[in-house]
Amino acid sequence: MKIALITGALGLIGSESVEFFAEQGFQVVGIDNDMRKYFFGSKASTSGNKERLTKKVPNYRHHNVDIRETAALEKIFKDYNKDIALIVHTAAQPSHDWAAKEPFTDFSINATGTLNLLELARTYCPETVFIFTSTNKVYGDLPNLLPLKEEATRWELSKEHEYYTGIDETMSIDQSKHSLFGASKVAADILVQEYGRYFGMKTGIFRGGCLTGPHHSGAELHGFLSYLMKCCVSGDAYTVFGYKGKQVRDNIHSYDLVSAFFHFYQNPREGEVYNIGGGRDNSCSVLEAIELCEEISGRKLTYDISEKNRAGDHMWYISSLAKFQNDYPQWKQTYTLKKTLEEIHKSAKVTK
């Protein structure tokens, strides 16, 4: 049976990938050692996803392995070898702010861990399709240089601007402030491209906007919509960091992102890069997201707006989906922003 190897298998995109590719007939092998608990505390632990996947996915095989541990990783690759038809690499240290606390940890996971996986794939299963979840933070703070106008609830571009429908892959990733997290993801992003372009491996790089869904273990430093809805449900106070709460994000449900991965798997390319997110139709500012969460939950959120923004954070980011949709015209988004938040609310009510 063909193997799908999923790193970060207990996280939002990883766990969605486990379920999705099991349904497509893959034997799914997961790698995850719950580093999210180390990053953000016990409330952000992904251990609950392990229990859910073990019950829901027949024959799911889990390995409690750190992607920095080359010997342990190599044993997995040796065991499954050329049966590995697909690698979905989602494991990461995902936070701007946390990276500054432990730069070596951040870089060793995001960059060196990715190199470990690429080199082992090249050695043991060179024909595999390697999909990497990169981030829009590889563009640093260049999006903040766009001619943004302040509106009542959001920063916005004029309809005449070339990026009004979304930022495309031609934006530079150079000479801007990324945060250390952004820098480590740039290194990984380029590595995955290079293994495609230099070695001819089938690698796809997906530079995500705001990735979200009901299985997100949202925390203050990562998981914007999930954490926001949790605060609405629990009554905990929420802090908005900078930009008057008018910073804009485009939001894609984890299912729709993993569906895009599947389309790439079916017709892979070498070292291809795609911006991927919810697009303009699924964009919102933090203030707009608060209003939606209050409407869906029926509760008022207690929040304050800090004057200080996160280093390297975007005032406005909407992904252009044009390149991916041109290459894979059969792919469609199935979740609206409101439908996604309704799912997150349902999950937050169950787990509060």
Cα distance between residue 147 and residue 156, in whole Å: 8
Is residue 352 pLDDT above 80, yes or no? no
Tally of structural domains, the chain: 1
pLDDT tens-digit map of 283-321: 999 999 999 999 999 999 999 999 998 877 899 999 999
Percent of the residues in the chain that have a pLDDT greater than 90, as a whole number? 87
pLDDT tens-digit map of 61-118: 999 999 999 999 999 999 999 999 999 999 999 998 899 999 999 999 999 999 999 9
Integer angstrom CA distances of residue 288 from 44, 76, 227, 232: 25, 45, 15, 14
Query: What is the structure's pLDDT at 311?
Result: 77
The arithmetic mean of pLDDT across residues 229-242, rounded, is 92
Record the pTM: 0.95
Q: What mean pLDDT is reported for the chain?
A: 95
Where residue 62 sits, what CATH number does that domain have?
3.40.50.720
Chain centroid to CA 165: how far?
Answer: 21
The answer to whether residues 277 and 250 touch, using CB atoms and an 8 Å cutoff, is yes
Range of the domain at 92: 3-351
Query: What is the structure's pLDDT at 96?
Result: 86
